[in-house]
Amino acid sequence: MEITKVIPEVFYDVLGRLVPGIAAIWIWSIAAGTTFAAFVTNVYAGSTTLSQSVVVLVATLLLAAYLIGYVIGPISSFFHSRILPHLFPSYFAVLADAARYDGKRGYPPAARAFFQNQIHRLFGETTPTPNQYRQATYLWYDSVRMDSESAAVTLGKMRAEYRMLEGLYVVLAIAIPINLTYWLITGHGPDLLLLCLAAGGFVVVSWSAARTFRTFQHAVINQFYLLNNDQAARPKVPSDRGGKAISQDAPAPEPLTSVSHETTGPDGDKAR
């Protein structure tokens, strides 16, 4: 597998799953009045070698973090599709704004017409819903990934970044009921500092996630527009083979029969 195809998946695994998982272990341990090291020591209490091994501690941490990041993924997806669009509606309407018919946005008329045409091809002549605009953005993201490896790496990193932030605000939101449950079970007072930081962090991180997702949408539709218009703008010239057009920068086809003098190909190169 080519390295450029692996990089986006590595970004997603590390940023989108491992980082939120590690944050969850740390924050939830504090909310529950314990530490991850103490938890691992209790799990491997039957073996002194395992309970005191740094390698075992790190390996268990990474495995648990990845699994937690994987489990909270559906929760962050629910927030992404159901909660954040209502909290930050303008950040989730990038394509809708780019395709506006009133011309009040920053895209030139040619780009707006292109977006409108592509959206109509997907959903017909009816006015698209906000969800359909997001569906179009995801479809164009897959199209760009197939057409440009460099764009796939950049967009994959941006996608991993906003998924990381979404995982982090889910971790902060879950920390609040964990600490309240610990208080009810043990009788210890709630950690007011932790609760305030978790609530404030949820607001700040969710806002940052919405902003990052807006940047991701802009990058997707810009790349999709540029890639399609770059391909459409390439001049085509007739070919002497099969009646198919060839690009202007393609090498000249060799003549079907040999001739005794030099001839000139469609792009000006000499063929013998």
- Global pTM value: 0.77
Whole-number Å distance between alpha carbons of 69 and 13: 9
- Each of the 272 residues of the chain gets a pLDDT tens digit; together they read 455 556 667 878 888 999 999 999 999 999 998 887 787 777 777 777 777 788 888 888 899 999 999 999 999 999 999 999 999 999 999 999 998 866 566 788 889 999 999 999 999 988 889 889 999 999 999 999 999 988 998 999 999 999 999 999 999 999 999 999 999 999 888 889 999 999 999 999 999 999 999 999 999 999 999 999 865 544 444 444 444 443 444 454 454 444 444 444 444 444 43
The burial of 167, by beta-carbon neighbours within 10 Å (0-12 exposed, 13-18 middle, 19 or more buried), is given as buried
Q: In 3D, which of 63, 19, 21 has the Cα closest to residue 40?
A: 63
Q: What's the pLDDT score for residue 241? A: 43
In sequence order, what are the residues at sequence separation of 6 or more whose Cβ sits closer than 8 angstroms to the Cβ of residue 266?
A: 237, 238, 239, 246, 252, 253
**Domain locations in the chain?**
3-232
Whole-number Å distance between alpha carbons of 30 and 170: 16
Q: What's the pLDDT score for residue 119? A: 93
